[in-house]
Structure 1
């Protein structure tokens, strides 16, 4: 096999665009980031394959304008595996499809036991893919030839996988379901930025004191500023566990911070003045974070029996009913209906709690038409049964 070349000059890019436009059928697309190494989630390699054209490996940092490629292939079907992971970084460089086929999502809808690309390829094509470079630092330059081969194989087989999945979806009567799901992924709105992103620190939920939270907040903000300016993944500078350990211990001096055994990381000592300044701000501030942040989500279901027994009864019966439908359709229950949607309508059902109202509530939350059609009536029935069971229990008790 010839060595793979990375496309990084205007002339190479123009040739690649012309070749892709001359090909036929869907276009397989993948992107490689440097998650865990870099602060940004930008694409450091974009792979494409089309029958009649071949494989093309683009170097996004070296290509200032993808508009010619976007204009030429936008209306074609793009085939991606776990599209939600790559669409954002593709859009960042101006690549945005009108329609997609998501091979991972199709595999889930078909109830395949393993949906990673290597597993799907092996089951459908009887070809084993090595995944040894999936967690590599793709910002590395030059990229080793073994990495490029791995990246090329990620798209080279994807159209064949798509064809097998198209047939299986048709055989299972799930072609329309797949189309609705793919469209939902493509048009899903990006999550709004968190108001207090520092609250995502792993382990912070165990803290119940505003002063500890203030120190954690200041350390997180200081780390994030350094990570952004150096384009290094925050956890590589100072791990979350180290920030939480400092926030719990509340060191009173710079030396106490330096002596803290759990305070580790590549920048824990070289940037000690930065971290100590953050600790001091957290210790001195009068603007302490709230220990509990209100949100509109229902409480954890484990507390429902005591707090809201009617909702608990509704949820338990509806979960069982939805799980039975998912089993009959041969797919994971979370693909039939997002569990949070069911929790929300069980905690606070519409009035009247009939199939039409429940269907409208689910649709407003984001359920697709096929999901509403498959679940609204059975949820409504479960709610009626739950209400009757509570009435019967009360009557027996009296």
Structure 2
């Protein structure tokens, strides 16, 4: 059984100044967040922010309480503090989406563990394997939006950051010993580029099997997705509570002719079967049938591949695996998949900028010339 952890819950305005002063005195901060992302409620929410200092003082900030969270954001987004996170990608996206925070000076223990060659790089595995700490998983699907939070849940949350400083020390020492510290630094700097600049993919295009729909059916699915999202927002439930994806696709492919036919379909949220909501769903179907047709991006014509694509791709993948083996690394760390795909499809053509930008400086230095030679090799029969 784990020893109790001492933490400070910051859920009142008067507790904020002392907590911020403590954090400001620490050269590095371990950071984690408990979130709700369309699992129990509608949309994305940051429910708790957990921070541990280098002096092993632990804080839990409650953004749902009556406190001004922006002074904390100012502390986290400045470059004066190194921030230690595990699997930082989603935390960075959530912070920017909700608060417009851009976190800097990052150390991601997941990325560091991958570059060290660890195959089990989840936080629970790393804590168990490197620090002999057993993690309780019973709160992984917990509803963090509920209040008050039970003491056991707060204890669980505080432990998420309590050992990140110790984990950072172990991983940094191993990276230095392996001569890979500069690799990790480059990866951490790339994390700071979030949020990504590309346009987010529309919700209806992310639905499984949506790429198989006809242009008319896809337009209907688009309208249905908008209806579902609005209803989910109104009742504060995840969109799949309203209509699951598979049923939404079925509605787009075989739309019911009238309210009676719609009510005969099972599996939707009970509120759908109320007259007003049934009418709105039928109106969404009509809007989709009248809207301009859509072509799914995956259905658009791809530039033709040159002959021998499959053989070249297989050879490039084998090349990558061979380079990864002596380094005891997963092959995907050696060279980006998109670069392999492009080279296999368009041998002897330069990589486009969006693909070339995925190649790290350390990858280019170690494998760049060899990769170019592989790209110009004729495919083996």
String of CA shifts for 1:311-356, please: whole Å, max 9, x gaps: 33332222211121122222212222221222123322454xxxxx
The 1:11–1:113 alpha-carbon spacing in structure 2 relative to 1, beyond 3 Å, is same
The 1:193–1:386 alpha-carbon spacing in structure 2 relative to 1, beyond 3 Å, is same
Please show how residues 344-363 of structure 1 align to structure 2 within 5 Å: 344-349=342-347, 351=349
CA contact (8 A) 1:45 1:59 kept: yes
Please show how residues 246-257 of structure 1 align to structure 2 within 5 Å: 246-257=251-262
In the TM superposition, residue 46 of structure 1 has moved relative to its aligned partner by: 0.4
- What's the counterpart of residue 45 of structure 2? 42
Please show how residues 91-110 of structure 1 align to structure 2 within 5 Å: 91=96, 92-93=98-99, 95-110=101-116
CA contact (8 A) 1:215 1:247 kept: yes
- What's the counterpart of residue 341 of structure 2? 343
- What's the counterpart of residue 219 of structure 1? 224
Equivalent residues, number: 372
- What's the counterpart of residue 190 of structure 1? 196
The 1:68–1:37 alpha-carbon spacing in structure 2 relative to 1, beyond 3 Å, is closer
The 1:376–1:246 alpha-carbon spacing in structure 2 relative to 1, beyond 3 Å, is same
What residue ranges of structure 1 are gaps of 5+ in the alignment?
300-306, 352-356, 394-398
String of CA shifts for 1:218-250, please: whole Å, max 9, x gaps: 110111223345543212222112201222222
Please show how residues 202-281 of structure 1 align to structure 2 within 5 Å: 202-207=208-213, 209-261=214-266, 263-265=267-269, 267-270=271-274, 271-281=277-287
In the TM superposition, residue 5 of structure 1 has moved relative to its aligned partner by: 5.0
Tell me which moved more, 69-78 or 339-348. 69-78
In the TM superposition, residue 14 of structure 1 has moved relative to its aligned partner by: 0.8
What residue ranges of structure 2 are gaps of 5+ in the alignment?
none
SS in 1 for 2:29: strand
In the TM superposition, residue 79 of structure 1 has moved relative to its aligned partner by: 0.4
CA contact (8 A) 2:34 2:49 kept: yes
Pairing partner for 1:332 from 324, 330, 333 = 330
Tell me which moved more, 251-260 or 183-192. 183-192
The 1:165–1:244 alpha-carbon spacing in structure 2 relative to 1, beyond 3 Å, is same
- What's the counterpart of residue 304 of structure 1? none
Per the normalisation by structure 1, the TM-score is 0.84
CA contact (8 A) 1:321 1:378 kept: no
RMSD between superposed Cα atoms in Å: 2.7
CA contact (8 A) 2:5 2:159 kept: no
String of CA shifts for 1:275-301, please: whole Å, max 9, x gaps: 222123234x152222665669778xx
CA contact (8 A) 1:246 1:257 kept: no
Please show how residues 1-398 of structure 1 align to structure 2 within 5 Å: 1=4, 5-23=8-26, 25-35=27-37, 36-52=39-55, 54-62=57-65, 63-67=67-71, 70-71=74-75, 74-91=79-96, 92-93=98-99, 95-194=101-200, 196-207=202-213, 209-261=214-266, 263-265=267-269, 267-270=271-274, 271-283=277-289, 285=290, 287-290=292-295, 308-349=306-347, 351=349, 364-386=356-378, 389=380
SS in 2 for 1:43: strand
Per the normalisation by structure 2, the TM-score is 0.88
CA contact (8 A) 1:239 1:264 kept: yes
